[in-house]
Each structure stands twice: as C-alpha cells, then as structure tokens.
Structure 1
Amino acid sequence: MSDAALAVVVLAAGQGSRMQSDLPKVLHRLGGVPLVGHALAAARSLDPEQVVVVTGHGSDAVARAVAKLDPDAATVLQAEQLGTGHAVAQALPALEGFEGRVIVLYGDTPFIGRDTLAALAGHRSDMVVLGFEAADPGRYGRLVVTDKGLERIVEWKDADEATRDIVLCNSGVMALDAGLLRRLIAGLGNENAAGEYYLTDLVALARAEGAQADVIICDEAETLGINTRGELAAAEAAFQTRARAALMEDGVTLIDPASTFLALDTVIGRDAIIGPNVVFGPGVTVESGAEILPFCHLEGCHVSSGATVGPFARLRPGAELGGDVHVGNFVEIKNSVLDEGVKVGHLTYLGDAHVGEQTNIGAGTITCNYDGVMKHRTTIGPRAFIGSDTMLVAPVTVGADAMTGSGSTITEDVPDGALALGRARQVTKPGLATRLMAALRLKKETR
C-alpha cells in the first residue's frame, strides 16, 4: 500500500424509492447494522485520516446513525440530488487542506473487500476505478479500456450498441489524488440523458489533462448494491453465509449453520459451540470455550470462557458473564455483571445488577429495577443464595454468603451471612378448601 494519506467519502444521499420505504435506504439493516455501517467499517479498515459521509434524503436520521456507528466521521448535506459528481463536490469543503488519496464508496454497497480497498489505496495511477466483469451487464455503466489504461466510463443511458456489448462494468468506486479531484470536479457538466453531474466523467477529464487512469477488477459479488427488498434479502443471505464460513474456519462449532444469524461485529472465539436457532445482534463477544445453547438471542453482551447460555435465554445490552457462569432457560439479563461461577438456572430477570462469584439465583427471581421514572441497581455479594421467587426491590444490596427465603420480597439491605425473609406468615384453615369447593359447585348447579 502507498504511504500517502487516505480519506474516504461515502455517498449516502439517495432516497432508495425502490425499497418502498419511509426509511432512507442506507439505514435498512444488513447483518444487524444499517447498510451505511458496512461502508464505514470498510473505510476504517484502511485507517484513513478522514471519513466524510454525504447525506441527503432523511439526512438527520442518517447523520444520527453515522454518529453512533463512527463518531469520528463527518457528515455533509447534499440538499439537491444532482448526481454522484455533485455529491462528492459537497464533501470537498470537509476535506479542505487534505493532501493524499481519496476513495469514494457507496452507502448501499456493503461487500467490497479489504484487499480490494487496499489495492485501490495503494495503486500508483493518478486515478483508479473499481470494475467487474458482469454475468449480465444490464444497465451498468461500461468501462472503455485501451492499451493506455482506462479511457472513459460510459453510462448505459448514453452508450451506443457497441459500448453496451462491453462486459467490463463500473462499480462506481474510485480512488484518486485529492488535488486532482478538486480540479476535475470544477469541470464537470451535466450534458447527458439524466441531466446529472456524473462522477464517472472525471475519467475523461483526467485523461484530457494527461493524468493516468486505470482499472482494478474485483469479483462481481463484491459490488452488489442494494436497491430493493429482494436485493436486501439476497445480501443478508450472502452476508450470513460468509460470516458463518469465516467463524467455522476460525474454529467455532456451529451445530446448524443455516439457523445461526450473525451481526457485522460478532466476535466468537475458537472452540465455542453455538447451538441451532441462535441470533446475534450487534456488539456481542463470546470467548473461546463458551457454549450458547439453542434458541437464544444475544445483543451488546460479553460471554466469558466456560460460560453456558440457554436454551431460550436472552442477553441484552450490558450483560457481562464471567467465566463458568450458567444462564439457563427463560432467563433475561440486562445491564448486569455476573461474576465467575454464578448460576441462574431458569425463569429469572436480572436487570441493572452485579452478582458476586459462585452465587446461586433461584428460579423466578426478579430484580425490580424500574420505579416508572428511574432505574436502580441491585448488588448481590459472592456465594449468596437467592431463594426461588425472590423479588429484589432496588436499590438493594444482599451481602456475601447471605440468603433469601423463597417467595420473599426484599426491600432492605441484607448483611453478610444473614438470612432474609420477606413474606407473610402462612395461615392454614383445616377443611376449608373442601367446603369452599362444595359451595361453589352448588352455586353453579342452581343458577
């Protein structure tokens, strides 16, 4: 790769009318994150000095998503959608003073590989365009190449029959020197069938001033763009297939790969075992040797080595499971830390809690963390024993080696080693059940 500084411009201004959606196209999710998140991740793989995202339709929503996905990226507005060349021109003020290589990516093209981007960044030509040989060229722009390199790009609308017969197609992605980009953008016109300022016209302008333009060819699959719901579904299938294969190559066992669904940033260590019908949302790390049993949903959480989760468990954002933790069926964990060896067998909700090592949480335990306005924390010390059907009304602390009786409602702190009982005394009425049922049946019969 060249040592020149890098900047990336991501074009994300389009409405995506063929999606039939009020949501901007680049915010539709693929692999658990908005489409534009894939472009941003690709950009960051190059370690650029600057990333600029050009927004348009739904600009406020897109800008908020970008800020969450990549807080260091800048956003600029293309108020009128007048073509790709016009869009890149809106990004130039944000690149003022930058001297180096500029790569133009698209917010709806999620699969361009890191090696391909590195080749674009390191190419020695003044300008390089990413092309692909299409099985069905259709309405793609065509790349006209001679022995002197890339001569021009012709949009399908403006191409004659001979040019339409070319199978080398334009992906839209290009890299060029920043100074060249600034000079050429100023010379773009819109004398074409669409009346737009085409970024592709930069090639002819570059050649006219003696700059060298060339093509890098990638696999057609890398250039897949998303324009319809059907294409989004096909892209999701392609993403999942690649992500599953990569995990298995790295030593992860997927019992039923086809029913495992991964996010863009899912991290799973070798020798982890993932059961059927497990869904990973964004922000999940599962360490080596952990096991996720069938029918679990994980998002924004961390599972340490030796832990087991499920079946039928849900880990929500902020769940941190230490080594050898067991989370069983129908357990939900949110914004809680479970230290090493904690056991939460079944039918439990732990929210906004810290549970000390080797503690046992009985079935039906609930941390009552929300008062209707504020969230409150529950702290449980190491080696505690929480009896089944305990309601822990936060804020509350249960000390080390303490116990709660089954069916208790705990509203006050429990000291280390203490037993807390928070339930009404049982009253037994001999024979009353038999008499009550007889009376009820009689009443029913005489209606």
Structure 2
Amino acid sequence: MNTKTDPALSSPPARLSTAVILAAGRGTRMKSERPKVMHPLAGRPMLRYLLDNAAQVFDRIVVVIGPGMDDVAALAAPHAVVVQHDRLGTGHAARQAESVFGYGDVAVLYGDNPLITPGTMRALLAQRRCDDTGLALLAMEPADPAKYGRVVTHDGQVVRIVEWADATPAERAIGLCNAGVLCADAADFRRWLDGISNDNAQGEYYLGDVVARAVADGRHVRAVVAPEDELRGINSRAELAQAEACVQARLRQAAMAGGTTLVAPDTVFLCADTVLEPDTVVHPHVVFGPGVHVRRGTEIHAFSHVEGAVVGPDAQIGPYARLRPGTDVGAQARVGNFVELKATTLGAGAKASHLTYLGNATVGARANIGAGTITCNYDGVFKHATEIGADSFIGSDSVLVAPVRVGARALTAAGSVITHDVPDGAMALGRARQANRAGHADTFRDRLKKKKEQG
C-alpha cells in the first residue's frame, strides 16, 4: 500500500496579500450617470490610480462593483471582479469578496479614495505584520477635521472609532480622523465581517464596525497616519476638483524633478501619461491632454493646448497653438500662434508660424507654411490627405484642397486655391484674374447711400 502523500497537498496554502477595492458607488452626489470611480483625474479614471498603486504592493486585487458596471469591470481587468447586487453598505460590499480573500493579509480600500500611494499601502501592510497587530487602519490629521469620524486611542492602540454625530465634545476635539481603510488576516476579517450588524438608522452594514469587533476580540488595533491629500475621499464634484488639484501638484513636481522648467507651475495642467523630457520648457497656461510626449529641448509657449501628439526635439510651439491627436512635430520645427495641427506630420525644421490649419497632412523638412493657409481635408464623408514636399513654400492664404500633393521645392502663390498636384520645383497660381473698374467704387458707394436714405 502506497502511503506517500503529495507534498503539494500536504503543504499549507500560500499566504498572499490581497487588496479588495470597493467600487460599487453610483456617484449619486455627483449628479452623474457615470459610476463614481470612472470620473477622471488628470485624464485617467480615478480607479486606475488605485489599481496601479495597489498592484505594486499586493499579490492579488479584487474589485467589488455594482450591477451593470461593465465599464468598471473592463477597467479592472485582468483583476478579479465580484458584484454587490444589493447596496447595503461598505461592510456588505466587503462581504461579497470573502470567498476570494484567500489566505494571508487582506486590505479593504475604496475606489473613490484613489490617491493612496504605494508607500502608504506598504506601511499599512507592515503595521499589520508587526507587534502582534490584529487590525491596522489608515488615519489622518486633516487641517479641518470637520465631521470625519474620530480615532480614539489609548497607549498607542485604537480603542474605538466614533462618528462625529455620536462624539462627545472631548472626542470631537481629537485631531486623528478615520480614513476607513482596514487591513487584517483573512480569517479574522471574515469572522469580524460576519459579526457586524445592520442595526442602525440606515439599515446598512458598515465596514468601520470591524474595528469594534477586533477590539472585542482582544486584538491590538493600530493606526497608520498618512497625509490628508492621500486619504481624501471623492463624493462630489467639489471634492473631485480638490483631488484634481492634488494630482496636478504631484505631476508638476515630478515634471520639474525630471528636468522640465515650468515657468508658472500652477497654471500648467498635465495628464497622468504626459511625458516631458529633460530640458523642456513650458510657459504659463499650457494644457496637456492624454497621449503627449514632448522631447528634449522643446519649448511650449503660453496658452497652447497639446493632446495626442509627439513634439520635438528642440521644437518651438505657440503661443496659442493647438496640437490635436495624431500630430508629430519634427526636430526644430516651429508651430506658431493660432496654428492648429490634426493628424499631421510636420517635418524637421518646417515652419507654420501663424493663422494656419493643417489636417491629415504630411509636411516635408524645412517647408514654410504661409499665414492663413488651410488644408481642406474633409468632404463631409471622408478625410483626405495633403502632401507638402521638403523645402516647399506655401504662400499666405493658400487653400489646399485634398487629396493633393505639392512637390519638393515647389511654391504656391499667395491667395491660391490648389486643387491639382504641383510638380517638384514648380510654381502654382490658383487665383481668379483681377479686373480694375475705374470709378466703380465711388458710384457703388453713392448708390448704397441713396438706398439707405430711402429707408
């Protein structure tokens, strides 16, 4: 008889740290049909921040969503998702993930509390794993404690969480406030969650009641204090704006630390994925949309808007320039004031200095685009391409009706409408013939004045 046991079956299950993110909120106070966690901060859904940061700390991530939140489930992928069909409070939401807690430590986070850094998450996990801590929680000391729940401590241990409405004057004077984030061993967490009650005015199960269960079990509960800016929750449009300010401050600081000069940092707005290489300079009142990469030595002048574009190196943009998605500006190229580029490649050293629209265009190296030039790229159904060759010169107020090609070293006369290809090195004139009628301006003006006098 074979009595050997498979080592894999006899060994204990792996202890993996798990982050449970509660993301079932509907955003009612935001007056929005969009799930709360899908509202953007610096061009990225707020839930994305928490997912990315938690992935740096925890072995597994589970996201609790509400019914019909397919967009949230898609954003959470490839992490596990469970559905809270009945919204009966934060404790009830955490219960929905009990079956996937696994073995090890479990932290419950909030999708609308997205700015917690990996460092703070690591501190929470480390606190849970030392000094016989049964439960660790995040707390903060805000400048204005307002109506946050207070964390009551004794000899370094948390003895209870008291809501502002239930707090005594002495308790309201406590500056340490509850952020709601908890971390405990999976088995303990399951037991404490199963023990909480919905015997309250709202008839809901509150995650914060786990603290009382842990204390009643005689377990040590300890708080990890983190900055207020990391722990601010987002429940309204005003709080979303406050969180945006925090994210922008972080992004600006990171850009400057990376070698970018922001002349007036508070006036520059970045996206979470904006890439600014060293020795770039950004002047006041510049806005970056998603998908921007600015290469070394490029200067973005005031009041410009850049989105979905690659720029430089050593390019000059603006002031008052707009680069739209699909734009690629080459080395040492120049995009001046009131110039708009969309799905356009501007070659190295090329210039479009003022009052120009280039859409679905390819502009060769060193070409010069005169003031007032536009590419007519859309016929109402399809977009068409314009090709402008290297070293060409497009005269002011030219209209290039796509599809059309202007060859290398070619020239278009000012005021021309170009509807046919221009060969390399050729000059194109597409103007109506001018005719001067002597004295006609005076007689025309007199006729208009007489009509005005007659009413």
How far did 1:148 drift? 8.4
Select which of 409, 415, 419 maps to 1:407: 415
What residue is the counterpart of 1:260 in the other structure? Answer: 268
1:45-94 deviation line (CA, Å, top 9, x unaligned): x176655444449x54xx537746x764565543432111222334566x
In structure 2, the CA distance between the partners of 1:356 and 1:397, relative to structure 1 (3 Å rule), is same
In the superposition, relative to structure 1, how do residues 344 and 77 fare at CA in structure 2: closer, same or farther (>3 Å)? Answer: farther
Q: Which residue of 2 aligns with 1:196?
A: 204
1:48–1:391: structure 2 CA closer, same or farther, 3 Å change rule? farther
The 10-residue stretch of structure 1 (132-141 or 47-56) with the greater mean CA deviation from structure 2: 47-56
Contact 1:274 1:292 in 2 (8 A): yes
Aligned mates of 1:30, 1:233 — CA distance in 2: 9
Task: Tell which structure's C-alpha radius of gyration is larger.
Answer: 2
Does 1:11 pair with 2:22?
A: yes
2:47 is matched with which residue: 36, 39, 42?
A: 36
* Cα distance, 1:42–1:274 mapped onto 2, change above 3 Å: same
Partner Cα distance (1:138, 1:82) in 2: 26
Letter in 2 for 1:221: D
Gaps of 5+ in 1: none
Equivalent residue of 1:199, what SS? Answer: coil
Residue 171 of structure 1: aligned partner: 179
Match for residue 123 of structure 2 among 119, 124, 128: 119
CA distance in 2, matches of 1:129, 1:212: 11
How far residue 400 of structure 1 moved from its aligned partner, in angstroms, is 3.3
Write the letter of the residue equivalent to 2:307.
Answer: E
- In the alignment, is residue 319 of structure 1 matched against residue 327 of structure 2? yes
Q: Aligned pair in 2 of structure 1 residues 311, 437: CA closer, same or farther (>3 Å)? A: same
Instruction: Give the Å deviation of 1:110.
Output: 3.8
Amino acid at match of 2:434: V
Does the C-alpha gap of structure 1 residues 346 and 138 become closer, same or farther in structure 2, counting only changes over 3 Å?
closer
The answer (yes or no) to whether the contact 1:152–1:201 under 8 Å persists in 2 is no
Q: Count how many residue pairs are aligned between Structure 1 and Structure 2.
A: 437
- Residue 152 of structure 1, CA deviation: 5.0
Query: Match of 2:228?
Result: 220
The residue that corresponds to 1:132 in the other structure is 140
Instruction: Choose 161-170 or 384-393, whichever is displaced more.
Output: 161-170
| Match in the other structure for 1:429 | 436
Q: 1:104 aligns with which of 95, 101, 108?
A: 108
2:94 is aligned to 88
Q: Give the % identical residues.
A: 49
After superposition, residues 346-365 of structure 1 pair within 5 angstroms as 346-365=354-373
CA distance, structure 2, for counterparts of residue 285 and residue 381 of structure 1: 25
Greater Cα offset, 238-247 or 278-287:
238-247
Distance in 2 (CA, whole Å) between partners of 1:187 and 1:55 is 23
Q: TM-score, normalized by length of structure 2?
A: 0.80
Preserved contact between residue 415 and residue 431 of structure 2 (Cα < 8 Å): no
- For the 8 Å contact 2:417–2:431, the answer to whether it is kept is no
Deviates more, 1:83-92 or 1:337-346: 83-92
User: Structure 2: where are the runs of 5+ without partners?
Assistant: 1-13
| AA aligned opposite 1:437 | F
CA RMSD of aligned residues (A): 3.6
Q: CA–CA distance in 2 between the matches of 1:99 and 1:417?
A: 74
Distance change (3 Å), C-alpha of 1:228 and 1:425: closer
Q: For 2:337, what is the secondary structure of its paired residue?
A: strand
Correspondence for 1:390: 398
Describe the SS at the equivalent of 2:255: helix
